[in-house]
Structures are given as C-alpha cells and as structure tokens.
Amino acid sequence: MKKLPLLAIASVLAAGCTDQREGPLSPDGPRNFTTVSSPAAVGTYWREASKLWVFDKTPEVGIGSHGASDGEFQQVRNLGMRLVRHTLYWDANSPGALDAAVAAAQRNGVELVVVVHNGAQCREHYADPYGAFASFMAAQAQRHPSVRFWELWNEQDSPGWTNFFGGQGPGGCQAGTNTVRQQGYEYAQMLKRAYPAIKAANPGAYVLVGGLTGWGGWDFLRGIYDGGGKPYFDFMNIHCYGATAQWDAVNDGVRSRGQTVAAIMAENGDPDRPLWLTEFGVGGEAYNTAWGTPHTSGQDDGTTYDNHQRDWWRDALDIVQSSGIYTKALGYQLHATDGGPRAGCRGDGFCWPESILPAGYTPEDYGFGLFRRDGTTPRPSYTYLQSRNFNGPVQLNTRYQTVSLYSPDLDPANYAFRRYGDDVDIYNVPVNSLTPTPIDFVERAPTDPSPCASEYGPQYVICPE
C-alpha cells in the first residue's frame, strides 16, 4: 500500500472496490449479507493436467507488518494469527536483508508471506531485468527454506508504481508506453523466469501474484493469461480498499472484487485456483473523503474514526467468512500511520476541514494501523479482532478426508479410491490448512467387472467385502 495524494484517493474510492454509481452507504447503513460460520470445506484445483491440488477452503486471516520484531510478532500471535505479510526490497544491498525477520518469525511461530518489490527500481538499470530479478529470488528462496510464500511485486497494475513491466513508473524512471494489459503480459514473462528459479531453489515454496488493484478494469490480470503466465504462479491475489467494505446497497467491494477476479480466471480456463486477499483496511482519510469530517455533523472525530475502522474489519471478515471466495485474507496493517485524516478536497470539489482530535493525538493515530503511532496502544479494531478469534475454526493439524470429484479419464495414484462412473471418491487425503496437498493422477484403469482380481487391485480401489 502506498500513500496516495487526496485526488488519487478520490479515484481509488470510486474504483477501488466496485463501481460507485450511487455513492457509498453511510457508515451506519444496512449490511447486505449474513454472518455464517464456515464449515471445514475442501477445495480442489487441477494444478496441472495430471496433478490435483486439495486444499482447505476454510478462510484464514493474517496481517501485514512493516516491522519484524519479537514484540510485533507477539502482537500478531495475540490475535490468534500466524500469517504475516512482510516486505523485502529486491535490490537490497545485503543478501541477508531478510535474515532477522525470518529468525524472529521462527521464534514466534509466524509464517511469513514475503512481498518482494521495489517501485523505485527502474527497468532500464538492467540489461536483463527479469533475469536479474529471478537470480535474486533464487538466492533468497535458497537462503530461507522456511519461507513458504513469496509474493512477487505489489500493486504492479497501479499507474506510477513501477515501470518494470513497461508502464508509467515513479520519478527518476523512464516512462513506458505499454497498456495495462500489455504490462500484464510482461509480468507473465517475468513469472516465466522467476517461478522456475524459486522452485528449483526451494521446491516447497509457493508463488503469489503481486496483489492487484484492478486498475484498468482488471486488464493486467487478463494480460497475465495472454502472456502464458498460468503455469507460473500458485495463488492469485488482490487488494481491496474503500470507504466501506460493502460499498453500496447492491454490491460489496470485498465480495464483488473477488467474484469478478474468479470469473476472469474461469474465462481463461483457470477456475478454482486459490484466491488470496493480501491487503484490505481503512484509515480516517477514507472516511473524510467519503463523508467529510465527522464533527461537521455533530460526531466525535476520534471515536468515529476508530469505530469506522473496527466496523470495516468486521464487515470485511464477515464477507470473507461467508462468501467462500478467499482462502487467505491479510489486512493492512499492524502498525501503519499512513491514511490518517487530514483536511483536503475531492476531485468533485467536495472539501473538508481538519479533524478535531483528542489532546495528544495526531492524524497518524487514526491511519491504517491497528495500533496508535506509539506502537503499543491498541485501537478498538485490535481488541475486536482478539475477541472475535476469526481463526478459531482453522484446523492447524492435518486431517484426513474423503475427496470426491469428476475425473472421467484419470485415476488417482497412490491413494485408495472408489469410482462411480466418471466420479471418484479418494480416501484418506491429508488436508492441510496452510499448503495444498498434491495428488498425481494416471490414465484411468481399464474397466474390469472384478477389479479386486486385477492388477489394479486393492492398492488402487476399495474392494467390496
């Protein structure tokens, strides 16, 4: 997440979660969804033509953290979370830039999701930019085998964030002329270099697409598939911000964005791939941009900002829990002072004054963070998350389940199974809440009226007594 100017924030609020046709709900408006407890559900995804992934669809929530101290990771663990998204700048001078964070994560039972990027790193600095990035990633994956999740770049579809894929980069970098879709195509070419390098260095690692914002109507995502990127990442990944998590009386951003992305994936022959949400949240600035400063309507500014953030998290997690769209959701952010409320104007000329905050408080106390700017005082969102215990239903221990699926031409290898025509029940499949279980498939066994007497006997099929 980068700090945006106020005019840009107005655009993000209009496009960041869904099309704003009638304006956002008031913060106290109706909520068009029902909270339900998600049962222990199993998902399947054909990762390759003859390799199935089985994964836990029970959603798990985590948090981003700029820091990586023992104290910060304990604050995360006190929320019942283990997933922490942490940044590594890929052109860091020291190859050991991530060492301290990895060591602290291991001490505190944290699973790092490492987002690797550097918006200020210019494409033109490298004769072979994708090769240089792939080499860096291979070295990091080899150096840190305990890191299972690598997210490659961040909001790379946003204008001005990076020129690495031929778009408009930040100041000091040459401006590219690629369309958003062409940039997605180029991103796929980067994946073709970096993904095999990471897998060769650590076969147990997983690669996430850098969190997409949907800028340009998700054309960057379409470009990834245009460029043949489908085999070269493991998890799709998006971000969602806005004045509310539900956004208006018809659509809610966290749900509608995920549904849109899932539909585009299916259109490209890639249904059922696990989808992550690695940034979502709100600061006081978003409230002001949507509705103005609270005190102008007789409310207390500081309390309103705190309650609005708490309710944003509540609504977002309700959607994550009830929709079945996301397998992982990591909020922004444990400690973050950006996004605090300041005076400003929207692009349509709507303006608001400075906030009136309690003595000793500044706008940075009401940014995206779950803590005040001192890093030790929790906000109501933090205590709400503690009490909610969202990850309570997540089964951390491996469980064994029967998995049923349609597979007319292939049989599972090395698993007991029973076939019902074109459908197969696979028995005793280990289901892990953190990583998928791969199952290799082989060509379907010949039809045999007495399978227990055939070479495809009890090691492959459950035989009747």
Q: Are residues 70 and 200 in the same domain?
A: yes
pLDDT in tens, the chain (465 residues): 444 433 333 333 333 443 332 344 455 543 333 333 334 589 999 999 999 999 999 999 999 999 999 999 999 999 999 999 999 999 877 899 999 999 999 999 999 999 999 978 899 999 999 999 999 999 999 999 999 999 999 999 999 999 999 999 999 999 999 999 999 999 999 999 999 999 999 999 999 999 999 999 999 999 999 999 999 999 999 999 999 998 654 456 899 999 999 999 999 999 999 999 999 999 999 999 999 999 999 999 999 999 999 999 999 999 999 999 999 999 999 999 999 999 999 999 999 999 999 999 999 999 999 999 999 999 999 999 999 999 999 988 899 999 999 999 999 999 999 999 999 999 999 999 999 999 999 999 876 555 554 444 444 555 555
Whether 464 maps to a domain, the answer reads no
H-type alpha helices, 202-300: 219-226, 253-267, 284-291
d(CA 391, CA 59): 8
- In which element (H, E) is residue 312 found? helix 301-323
pLDDT at site 323: 93
What beta strand segments (E) does 294-398 contain? 328-331, 344-345, 351-352
Query: Are 321 and 439 within one domain?
Result: no
How many angstroms separate the CA atoms of 162 and 39, rounded? Answer: 40
* Cis amide prior to 395 (ω within 30 degrees): no
- 224 φ, ψ to 5°? -60, -45
The answer on 333 and 371 residing in a single domain is: yes
Structure tokens at 449: 């009226």
Each residue of 11-31: pLDDT tens digit?
333 334 433 323 444 555 433
| Cα–Cα dist 316/247, whole Å | 11
- 51 forms beta bridges with 48, 440
Which among 340, 358, 388 is the end of a domain? 388
Number of domains in the chain: 2
Domain presence at residue 460: no
Please tell me the predicted confidence (pLDDT) of residue 41: 87
Q: Which of 388, 412, 444 is the last residue of a domain?
A: 388
129-142 per-position pLDDT tens digit? 999 999 999 999 99
Q: Which of 270, 229, 286, 340 is nearest to 11 (CA)?
A: 286
Based on the fold, state whether residues 262 and 407 are members of the same structural domain: no
- The parent domain of residue 430 ranges over 399-453
Place of tokens 């049962």: 39
447 within domain boundaries: yes
Q: Is there a single domain that holds both residue 260 and residue 323?
A: yes
End-to-end CA distance of the chain: 60
- Give alpha helix (H) positions in 114-204: 129-143, 180-201
| Residue 462 in domain | no
- Residue 83 to residues 6, 80, 105, 216, 442, Cα–Cα distance (Å): 31, 10, 10, 30, 35
**Closest to 289 in 3D by CA, of 336, 243, 254, 239:** 243
Task: List the structure tokens of 276.
Answer: 């992550």
Residue 181 lies in a domain: yes
Alpha-carbon distance of 234 to 225, in angstroms, equals 13
Tell me: do 414 and 381 sit in the same domain: no
**Same domain, yes or no, for 352 and 438?**
no
Q: Do residues 351 and 404 both lie within one domain?
A: no
Give the three-state DSSP class for 186.
helix
Is there a contact between 191 and 130 (Cβ–Cβ < 8 Å)? no
Give me 120's structure tokens: 């200020």
Note whether 381 and 425 are same-domain residues: no
Please report whether residue 361 resides in a domain. yes
pLDDT for 287 equals 97
In a shared domain, residues 419 and 293: no
Q: At 143, which CATH number?
A: 3.20.20.80
Residues 132, 314: Cα–Cα separation, whole Å: 42
In a domain, 458, yes or no: no
Encoded tokens for 235 = 């998890």
Q: How many Cβ atoms sit within 10 Å of the Cβ of residue 423?
A: 12
- Tokens standing for residue 40: 């222990």
Tell me the pLDDT tens digit for each residue of 259-317: 999 999 999 999 999 999 999 999 999 999 999 999 999 999 999 999 999 999 999 99
Residue 328's nearest CA partner among 199, 188, 149 is 149
Q: Are 339 and 367 in contact (CB under 8 A)?
A: yes
CA distance 397 to 104: 23
Containing H/E element for 390? none
Whether 207 and 324 share a structural domain: yes
Cβ(47)–Cβ(77) under 8 Å?
no
Report the run of H or E that residue 71 belongs to, with start and end: helix 70-77
Residue 40: inside a domain: yes
Is the four-CA dihedral 78, 84, 89, 90 of positive or negative sign?
positive
Nearest to 253 by CA among 292, 299, 207, 290: 290
Nearest partner of 326 among 240, 252, 258, judged by Cα: 258
The set of residues, in sequence order, having a beta carbon less than 8 Å from that of 451 and lying 6+ positions away, is 445, 457, 461, 463
Domain boundary among 388, 410, 442: 388
Based on the domain organization, do 166 and 279 belong to the same domain? yes
Give the torsion sign (CA, 281, 195, 430, 259).
positive
